[in-house]
Amino acid sequence: MAGSSGAHGATQSKLPRLTVMDLSKPHTFIKPVKRINEGHDVPHFLTSRAYSDIGIFVMQLDTAMCPRKVEVDGKTQVKTWELGSSDFTVSGLVEQIQQMLKTIEAIIDEAPPDTGPRRFGNISFRRWHEILASRVSSILRQHVPAEILDAGSPGEVTAEDELASYLLGGFGSSQRLDFGTGHELSFLAFLGGLWKLGGFTAGDEISDDGRLERSIVLGVFEPYLNVIRRLVLTYSLEPAGSHGVWGLDDHFFLPYIFGSAQYSPAIKDGEPMPVEGSRPDAPSPDSVTKKNVGEPMPIEGSRPDAPSPDSVTKKNVVDRERKKNIPDSVTKKNVVDRERKKNMYFAAIGFIYDVKTGPFWEHSPILFDISGIRTGWGKVNKGMIKMYNAEVLSKFPVVQHFNFGSLFSFERDPNAAAAAATVHTSNQPSSHTISVSGNTTGAPTSRQVPQEATRAPWATNAPAATMANAPPQAGVATSAPWAKPTSAAPPQTDGSVPTRAPWATSGSSSAPAPGNAPTRAPWATGPR
């Protein structure tokens, strides 16, 4: 699964990529169904082809967003890509999916929010979701080529059936009136399915310059996030499977991965992601935490015109820096206000400022802790990849609703590597445990916890695949900060152990009020 040699010619890629299917060959599509019914199904998922493919696709997109070293007139320059930039290609299927998202967003006008009293979510979201479900086939037909949708045996399950399942799953739960990282994962699978079916690669050769993947992130995924943000605000959607303040974000995770990549040091095509350092013009990580524009900027360790590291608490700075790349800039709201228009990380931070009040360290302790990293956005990016593996892909409340078909298969990956069971794999909720989202899980299964886990897709023999920037192997997650006697964090109702951000411990931004210490980011402790 590490390379791709699809139907559109030989690839020049050195990096692991999802394989592009040859649609001229027979393929049996499978209607996606729920396969994770209890906590002990999660270790099997971590040995599956689906887990491997998801990891590969995330790393594809992540690497594409990293700045590039390019030669211009014999001199090396750094090429970057920001939100709203015209420096990436929007054509073909990317342009069609953009139009599809506008069509989906317009349904909001047909299902205005209910004005009556409510405690959790707006019931009009159910009507919105019903309309989308009733039109999903026609919407796909309008924007995705028929040769892709009709792939498969006539009269049986087709590619459309699999794609429709992931597309619908990417827009929240009409039953629970919520949205979370599991739904975000479903939309990622929709895009990954289109990639596998050759939708994004038709007529283009896949290469390490990342232009195809970049067009997906900036041209499709960011517009999708904006649609979801409007849905959250319009229908007051609850967080799904959230750890509350002890989670990274109520609704999203991937923009923090792609946004931190935007600020990482530049690489050459085909090189692995850097593990520390920042782009020279990136805002500091702590810029996300300072809300008042008038707070003085630090005068050490930065160039005269650079935003201060704690700019993340200043919303106007955050709005600006969410498009740039210095970790602590997320705490400075004035930096956030400036950067959110250019960077996905700061765009996500900016949305937090839009919907939450109070000190940043109080309502977003994990992000606050990460903002204290002094070794740059490269370290933030690596840590986010690790945390995504531990807190999204390895957690039952998140992945329990993911459906498996042929594009993302529950079958065991033959390249699975042996891995010992850990507290994270053994402490998953049982079939009778109530999940964070309020649902009881399905019927119990007799599956034993496997002793093998999928080798990280990016840990293949490909030259650029290095564990220096890879998630931990199956079930190996970072320790929970409240697992210590001095911790004041609440226990988890789902039986799982949330990941702290250990990588943000050293030099972390100091939070006010002793006794209210924020959660530590495990991957921020010392050098990576």
Burial class (CB in 10 A: 0-12, 13-18, 19+), 269: middle
In DSSP terms, 173 is beta-bridged to 178
pLDDT at 389: 94
User: Is residue 461 in a domain?
Assistant: no
Q: Is the pLDDT of residue 488 over 70?
A: no
pTM, two decimal places: 0.76
pLDDT at 64: 93
User: Is residue 92 in a domain?
Assistant: yes
Q: Which residue has the higher pLDDT, 156 or 329?
A: 156
Contact status, residue 42 vs residue 394, Cβ threshold 8 Å? yes
User: Is residue 334 in a domain?
Assistant: no
Which segment of 177-181, 264-268, 507-511 scores lowest on mean pLDDT?
A: 507-511
State percent of the chain over pLDDT 70: 66
Average pLDDT over residues 306-333: 60
pLDDT at 423: 61
User: Is residue 34 in a domain?
Assistant: yes
Average pLDDT over residues 443-459: 45
pLDDT at 153: 73
At 501, the pLDDT band (50, 70, 90 cuts) reads: low
pLDDT at 54: 97
Angstrom distance (rounded) from CA 225 to CA 129: 17
Average pLDDT over residues 118-138: 93
Q: How many residues does the chain have?
A: 528
CA-to-CA dists, residue 135 to 99, 103, 139, 296, 412, angstroms = 15, 10, 6, 53, 34
Q: Which of 314-318, 323-327, 435-439, 509-513 is most confident?
A: 314-318
At 442, the pLDDT band (50, 70, 90 cuts) reads: very low
Q: Which two tokens stand for residue 515?
A: 């006794």
pLDDT digits (tens, 9 = 90+) for 70-96: 888 888 888 898 998 777 777 789 999
User: Is residue 333 in a domain?
Assistant: no
Q: Three-class SS string for 125-167?
A: HHHHHHHHHHHHHHHHHHHCCHHHHCCCCCCCCCHHHHHHHHH
User: Is residue 230 in a domain?
Assistant: yes
The structure tokens 């895009």 sit at 191
Q: Which of 156-160, 203-207, 440-444 is most confident?
A: 156-160
Q: Is the pLDDT of residue 517 over 80?
A: no
Average pLDDT over residues 418-424: 56
Beta strands in 256-415 (DSSP E): 403-404
pLDDT at 510: 47
Angstrom distance (rounded) from CA 338 to CA 135: 38
Which segment of 7-21, 46-60, 121-135, 406-420 scores lowest on mean pLDDT?
A: 7-21
pLDDT at 53: 97
Average pLDDT over residues 292-306: 48
pLDDT at 206: 73
Q: Which two tokens stand for residue 270?
A: 């085909």
Angstrom distance (rounded) from CA 444 to CA 463: 42
Domains: count for the chain? 1
The amino acid present at 229, given as its one-letter code, is R
pLDDT digits (tens, 9 = 90+) for 2-42: 343 333 333 445 678 899 998 888 889 999 999 999 988 99
Angstrom distance (rounded) from CA 440 to CA 526: 40
pLDDT at 472: 41
pLDDT at 317: 65
DSSP 449-486: PPSEEEPPGGGSSSTT--GGGSPPSTT--PPPGGGSTT
pLDDT at 278: 86
User: Is residue 1 in a domain?
Assistant: yes
pLDDT at 182: 94
Q: Which of 226-230, 359-363, 472-476, 522-526 is most confident?
A: 226-230
Q: Which residue has the higher pLDDT, 487 or 183?
A: 183
Give the DSSP H/E element, type plus range, for residue 76: strand 75-79
Which segment of 27-36, 71-80, 206-215, 484-493 scores lowest on mean pLDDT?
A: 484-493
pLDDT at 270: 84
Q: Three-class SS string for 415-445?
A: CEEECCCCHHHHCCCCCCCECCCCCECCCCC
* Domain assignment of residue 7, given as a range: 1-277+398-411
Q: Which residue has the higher pLDDT, 111 or 277?
A: 111
Residue from 247, 147, 140, 182 nearest 34 by CA: 182
Average pLDDT over residues 499-520: 49
User: Is residue 148 in a domain?
Assistant: yes
Angstrom distance (rounded) from CA 468 to CA 310: 27
Q: Is the pLDDT of residue 312 over 60?
A: no
Q: Is the pLDDT of residue 436 over 90?
A: no
Angstrom distance (rounded) from CA 517 to CA 306: 28
Burial 226-257 (b: 16+ CB within 10 A, else e): ebbbebbebbbbbbbbbbebbbbbbbbbbbbb
Which segment of 7-16, 180-189, 200-209 scores lowest on mean pLDDT?
A: 7-16
pLDDT at 97: 97
What is the distance, to the nearest Å, from the Cα of residue 144 to the centroid of all Cα atoms in its chain?
24
Average pLDDT over residues 362-369: 89
Q: Is the pLDDT of residue 186 over 50?
A: yes
pLDDT at 284: 83
At 161, the pLDDT band (50, 70, 90 cuts) reads: very high
Q: Which two tokens stand for residue 409?
A: 């298969």
Residue 353 region by backbone torsions, left for phi larger than 0, else alpha for psi between -120 and 50, else beta = alpha
Q: Which residue has the higher pLDDT, 339 or 487?
A: 339
